[in-house]
A and B are shown apart, each in its own frame.
Chain A
Amino acid sequence: MPHVVPVGYRHRVPKPASLIEAHRLVKRFGDFVAVDGVDLQVQPGEFFGFLGANGAGKSSTMRMIGCVSPPSEGVLRVFGLDPIKDGPVIRSRLGVCPQQDSLDEELTVLENLVVYARYFGIPRRVARQRAEELLEFVQLSERITSKVEPLSGGMKRRLTIARALINEPEILMLDEPTTGLDPQARHLVWERLFQLKQRGVTQVLTTHYMDEAEQLCDRLVVMDHGKIIAEGSPRRLIEQYSTKEVVELRFGNLPPETVARRINGRISEHCERHEILPDRILLYTADGDAAAEAASREHPAPSSVLVRRSTLEDVFLHLTGRTLVD
């Protein structure tokens, strides 16, 4: 059974105090339930992730935490405060990098930061200094007087991250920060987020990229249809929901279905669990090399064999679908 945040955690005194705490959190849009009873806690300094497909309820949860979307039900505390009553105070301590960049295209790169800083009541001189430092940090110093519109997608995203940092937030909220970026831009963003983590900035991230979650997150929850279906560190999730290794077998033009029928029954001797896909057979096993060798002795022999470590993607697919029930 998926292990979720223990029931009754409210009676324990969290140590250290959680920055974000949600209990039975629900968000409804008319009849549609976007978030369906979510429990979670985020600790100071943690890099916390929401992993889920599009429409799983990640962004809705983020917006509630960001105090721009009132919860329909349940309890939510950010910095121990109530988002409904203390929205402006909470938001003054958050940095938000939304899914759409929502930059001000009528302003220059620098103006975007300085104008945004004003919303936090940051004095002009401080704002300007921070803006310059942040542009340096996200490698946009050379574009400081440029308009926003001609910037590339990666530059805009970096500028959005810089903007989210202008108030030196205690929590940085990142909603799919690298969606739509090319590999170079993604890696630059990851580097910067990692540096922020080293500085102790608490970060909350949503993503549907498994590698992103695996690289960045200390702890994450997997969301599906508005519910948290698993929670833990990437390593623990892999241990719990997948095997140590995965063997991928391909059979040239032979359909895996046919292969599976021919070596019927013996597949499961080689592994703990297997999955037959249209293009390959996956063997989930603790010892990939042994399974690969055993599979190679079969008839028909696979045309290609790949042994790899289990990833979050295996966990995710196992938990949310496209899978044979064991």
Chain B
Amino acid sequence: MVTAVLATRLGRLASTPAGRIWAVCLRDVTAAHSVGYTFLLVVGFLEPVLYLLSMGFGVGGMVGEVVLADGARVSYASFVAPAMLAASAMNGPFFEGSIGFFSKMRYRKLFDATISTPVTPFEVAAGELLWSLGQGAMYSLAFCTVMVALGLATLGQVLAVLPAALLIGFAFGGLGLLLATFINSWKDFDYLGAIIFSMFLFSGTFTPVEAYPGPAQIIVWLTPLYHGIELTRGLILDALSLSMLADAAYLVVVGLLGLWLASRRIARTLCR
């Protein structure tokens, strides 16, 4: 009885926009399941872990402690780890959102068929974002496990930081989708890689932003990753501040803007 009611409810939900967004996401789950995605996942997860080990512990051994804005002193590994979590939360959704989406949209023309169904271009974009977000969540979860194992975070801190990691994924997933709609060939991804890597190096990742000269600080302040790191670092190092609300809002706006603009550009490409 209960299952029957539930089935009807779910059935009704299935033919709503939410149901269709979920259906688009499930397509990717089905494809990942049959393609042997594990290898890619492991590589994506390992990258920030290796950075954490080499920078946090390797370089950290020579650097010693870092003094935070509020005067607290933390080990260099503790300082770098939340930034690596942010980078990890960024990488998955961004590259899935850009490269993965580009290949589906332009190379394999997958969505030409999708939009012949009730699914709209916005739902395609949202479903793809949800999928890349799911991937980001897996990366983040895995990275959090490593942090707990290395004694760089407690379970409570990890639970608090996971929503922030998702938010970072949302922002960069949306951004990735948007950039993918501007890309014309595989070569253009080199530029994306370069942008992301410079952002990764200079968003307060390895040094406090205060160490940069004034104008550079403004540029850093504009990057979404900086705000993401502010969030993860604040939550993991128990250095909460009101400005973190602004950081979160910035990420939400970036994600929504990316999603909205991307879906408009997708509609223009698919629905000529």
User: What residues of A have a CB within 8 angstroms of the CB of B26 in the complex?
Assistant: 115, 118
The reply to whether B31 and A120 contact each other, CB–CB distance below 8 Å, is no
The reply to whether B120 and A69 contact each other, CB–CB distance below 8 Å, is no
Nearest residue (CB) in A for B124 is: A119
Nearest residue (CB) in A for B24 is: A119
The reply to whether B272 and A91 contact each other, CB–CB distance below 8 Å, is no
Known: A98-B112, A106-B31, A111-B34. A69 touches B271 (CB 8 A): yes
Decide if B11 is an interface residue (CB 8 Å cutoff).
yes
**Could you count the A-B residue pairs with CB atoms below 8 Å apart for me: how many are there?**
84
Known: A102-B110, A107-B30. A119 touches B7 (CB 8 A): no
Interface of B is mostly: helix
Decide if B108 is an interface residue (CB 8 Å cutoff).
yes
User: What residues of B have a CB within 8 angstroms of the CB of A104 in the complex?
Assistant: 27, 31, 108, 110, 113
Decide if A254 is an interface residue (CB 8 Å cutoff).
no
The reply to whether A98 and B30 contact each other, CB–CB distance below 8 Å, is no
Decide if B195 is an interface residue (CB 8 Å cutoff).
no
Contact residue range for chain B? 20 to 34
The reply to whether B14 and A121 contact each other, CB–CB distance below 8 Å, is yes
User: What residues of B have a CB within 8 angstroms of the CB of A87 in the complex?
Assistant: 120
* A95-136 interface code vs B (CB 8 A; 1 in, 0 out): 010101011111110010001101111110000000000000
The reply to whether A116 and B113 contact each other, CB–CB distance below 8 Å, is yes
The reply to whether A121 and B112 contact each other, CB–CB distance below 8 Å, is no
CB < 8 Å neighbour of B34 from A68, A106, A122, A167: A106
Known: A100-B112, A121-B14. A88 touches B118 (CB 8 A): yes
Decide if B109 is an interface residue (CB 8 Å cutoff).
yes
Bound-complex Cα distance A100 to B110 (A): 11
A168 to B: closest C-beta gap in Å: 13
* B110-133 interface code vs A (CB 8 A; 1 in, 0 out): 101111111110000000000000
A237 to B: closest C-beta gap in Å: 30
Nearest residue (CB) in A for B15 is: A121
Known: A105-B108, A115-B27. A96 touches B116 (CB 8 A): yes
User: What residues of B have a CB within 8 angstroms of the CB of A106 in the complex?
Assistant: 31, 34-35
The reply to whether A107 and B14 contact each other, CB–CB distance below 8 Å, is no
The reply to whether A66 and B120 contact each other, CB–CB distance below 8 Å, is no
A88 to B: closest C-beta gap in Å: 4
The reply to whether B15 and A68 contact each other, CB–CB distance below 8 Å, is no
Decide if A70 is an interface residue (CB 8 Å cutoff).
yes
Contact residue range for chain A? 20 to 34
User: What residues of B have a CB within 8 angstroms of the CB of A304 in the complex?
Assistant: none
Bound-complex Cα distance A118 to B114 (A): 11
B168 to A: closest C-beta gap in Å: 28
The reply to whether A107 and B113 contact each other, CB–CB distance below 8 Å, is no
The reply to whether B109 and A100 contact each other, CB–CB distance below 8 Å, is yes
User: What residues of B have a CB within 8 angstroms of the CB of A69 in the complex?
Assistant: 271-272
The reply to whether B34 and A119 contact each other, CB–CB distance below 8 Å, is no
Bound-complex Cα distance A106 to B257 (A): 30
User: What residues of A have a CB within 8 angstroms of the CB of B209 in the complex?
Assistant: none
Nearest residue (CB) in B for A94 is: B116
Nearest residue (CB) in B for A125 is: B7
User: What residues of A have a CB within 8 angstroms of the CB of B16 in the complex?
Assistant: 121
Decide if B270 is an interface residue (CB 8 Å cutoff).
yes
Decide if A92 is an interface residue (CB 8 Å cutoff).
yes
The reply to whether A123 and B31 contact each other, CB–CB distance below 8 Å, is no
Bound-complex Cα distance A115 to B11 (A): 15
The reply to whether A119 and B117 contact each other, CB–CB distance below 8 Å, is yes
The reply to whether B31 and A121 contact each other, CB–CB distance below 8 Å, is no
Bound-complex Cα distance A111 to B7 (A): 21
User: What residues of A have a CB within 8 angstroms of the CB of B24 in the complex?
Assistant: 119
Nearest residue (CB) in B for A147 is: B34
The reply to whether A108 and B113 contact each other, CB–CB distance below 8 Å, is no
* Subset of 8 A-B contacts with CB under 8 Å: A68-B270, A88-B119, A102-B110, A104-B113, A107-B27, A118-B26, A121-B23, A122-B14
A residues neighboring B (CB under 8 Å)? 29, 66, 68-70, 87-89, 91-92, 94, 96, 98, 100, 102-108, 111, 115-116, 118-123, 163, 167
A-B contacts besides A118-B14, A121-B118, 20 pairs, CB < 8 Å: A68-B270, A69-B271, A89-B118, A91-B116, A94-B116, A98-B113, A100-B109, A102-B109, A102-B113, A104-B113, A106-B31, A107-B31, A111-B30, A115-B23, A116-B117, A118-B23, A120-B118, A121-B15, A123-B7, A123-B10
B residues neighboring A (CB under 8 Å)? 7, 10-11, 14-16, 19-20, 23-24, 26-27, 30-31, 34-35, 108-110, 112-120, 270-272
Sort A-B residue pairs by CB-CB distance and give the 7 closest, nearest first. Answer: A121-B15, A121-B14, A119-B117, A118-B23, A88-B118, A96-B116, A106-B31
